[in-house]
Amino acid sequence: MMRFPKTFAEAQAQISSIQNRLSELRTHVDVWRYPVTSQHAQEWLYAPATHTPRTALLLTAGVHGIEGYVGLGVLDVFVREFLPRLDERTVGVAIVPMVNPWGMEHMQRTNAQHVDLNRNFLTDPAAFDPEFNPDYQRLRPFLAPDRPVSPTDMSLFWARVLRVLLGTGLKSLRNATMLGQYSDPKGLLYGGDKVQPETRAFMEGLDTLLSNYEHLVHIDIHTGYGPRHEMLIIFPHEDRRSLETLRTRYAYPRVVKTSGGEFYQTQGSLGSYVYRRAQEQHPGKEPCVTSLEFGTFGNSTPASLRSLRALVLHNQLQHHGVQYPVQYPHVRERILREFRELFMPSEPAWYEHALERARQGLQGLLTGEQLIAIPEHRSGHHA
């Protein structure tokens, strides 16, 4: 049984199988198709509530394209083990397996315009502000050098990062990087200069969903941050409930908020947008908006710096290629391998932990939202 696809062809096959499973279990399934490039569409698989629409359960993967491969594994667990336990009379289910299909096909985090979609969910055009995140500008020569990767860049990274850390400190380096920026189209975590087609498609789908249900539960799947072999459930800072309340309600220990100090700050994130939109459409109702983050390298200082190196070199490679590609063919290969390792690890045991945490998290969230009843047994089959 294929659980976590490794290639785009496997990913497409798995999406078909998810769609088939949805069709087997639900009375109606519609596919909403939004073209986002000349060759790619963002598809929403939608199974409406059949009687009294109450809660919309939205699951999304591949906002950061390459992270969608793990995401599809989690969606597979959802349709096999949790979907059969939902009440189709009241719960509508929407699954977006690839929010960023170009990024998935090309094993990139960004879309084809090099935009990080998770920094692109901004409704005010003035928010695409090149002056935002001045620390990024200051660190730009280190974070996004304007030249091809040289064969020594991988090893020299440590000396360079040390020099930067002495002036800046790890926390502000991390913030300057992860916050996103709107000034440098060839830089790291570029949020774009306008709303992207994938973002626009998502906003449309979301509004259609929100117009039919008064309550929203959203689960968005990511990889690459947090402790290795663990999964964080991240709530947007707009959610006013305390971490303690969230831990208890969803029976899950590793809960964080986007600006809680533990997790990095963002601007234009999908989660914040979804939360605010749900509240605008249904004032007074508290949506449950989450992302699941599966940790890969870990969160020690060396692991954070290794993640940063993977992002910096990969970005530099995308925009400027490598120096002496004929003499040093392995440079490109090593950078691509390291980047892939950050978002879809090669260690088979990693996936065992991911499955276990995904089950625990889905169980906690769906039980806490009273969408499934009995906690001790899982229906459906598993190996």
Name the residues that contact Zn ion, by CB under 5 A: 64, 67, 222
Q: Tell the residue number behind the tokens 């109606």, with chain if given.
A: 28
- Give DSSP secondary structure letters for 35-57: E-SSS-EEEEEEE--SSS--EEE
Rounded least distance, CB 291 to Zn ion, Å: 8
Cβ neighbours for 25, distance < 8 A, ≥ 6 positions apart = 47, 79, 83, 84, 88
Could you give the CA distance from residue 375 to residue 150 in angstroms, rounded to a whole number? Answer: 54
Choose between 18 and 178: whose C-beta lies nearer to Zn ion. Answer: 178
Rounded least distance, CB 63 to Zn ion, Å: 6
Sheet strands side by side (includes 30-35): 30-35, 41-47, 91-96, 55-61, 215-223, 288-294, 231-235, 255-257
CA atoms within 13 A of residue 372's CA, in its CB half-sphere? 21
Could you give the CA distance from residue 151 to residue 227 in angstroms, rounded to a whole number? Answer: 30
Rounded least distance, CB 319 to Zn ion, Å: 20
Cβ neighbours for 14, distance < 8 A, ≥ 6 positions apart = 2, 5, 72, 76, 97
Choose between 61 and 94: whose C-beta lies nearer to Zn ion. Answer: 61
Rounded least distance, CB 64 to Zn ion, Å: 4
User: Nearest-CB residue to Zn ion?
Assistant: 222
Could you give the CA distance from residue 126 to residue 326 in angstroms, rounded to a whole number? Answer: 45
- Asked if residue 71 lies in contact with residue 62, where contact means CB atoms within 8 angstroms, the answer is yes
CA atoms within 13 A of residue 79's CA, in its CB half-sphere? 29
Choose between 83 and 292: whose C-beta lies nearer to Zn ion. Answer: 292
- Asked if residue 176 lies in contact with residue 139, where contact means CB atoms within 8 angstroms, the answer is yes
The pair of three-digit structure tokens given for residue 115, joined into one six-digit string: 């935009």
**Helix residue ranges per DSSP H, 179-269:** 197-212, 243-249
Choose between 67 and 238: whose C-beta lies nearer to Zn ion. Answer: 67
Rounded least distance, CB 109 to Zn ion, Å: 7
Choose between 80 and 222: whose C-beta lies nearer to Zn ion. Answer: 222
Choose between 81 and 293: whose C-beta lies nearer to Zn ion. Answer: 293
Rounded least distance, CB 58 to Zn ion, Å: 17
Could you give the CA distance from residue 233 to residue 292 in angstroms, rounded to a whole number? Answer: 5
Choose between 67 and 88: whose C-beta lies nearer to Zn ion. Answer: 67
Choose between 92 and 101: whose C-beta lies nearer to Zn ion. Answer: 101
The pair of three-digit structure tokens given for residue 82, joined into one six-digit string: 């949790």
Rounded least distance, CB 318 to Zn ion, Å: 17
Choose between 168 and 223: whose C-beta lies nearer to Zn ion. Answer: 223
Rounded least distance, CB 225 to Zn ion, Å: 8
Nearest to 223 by CA among 67, 11, 6: 67
Rounded least distance, CB 117 to Zn ion, Å: 9
CB atoms within 10 A of CB 130: 11
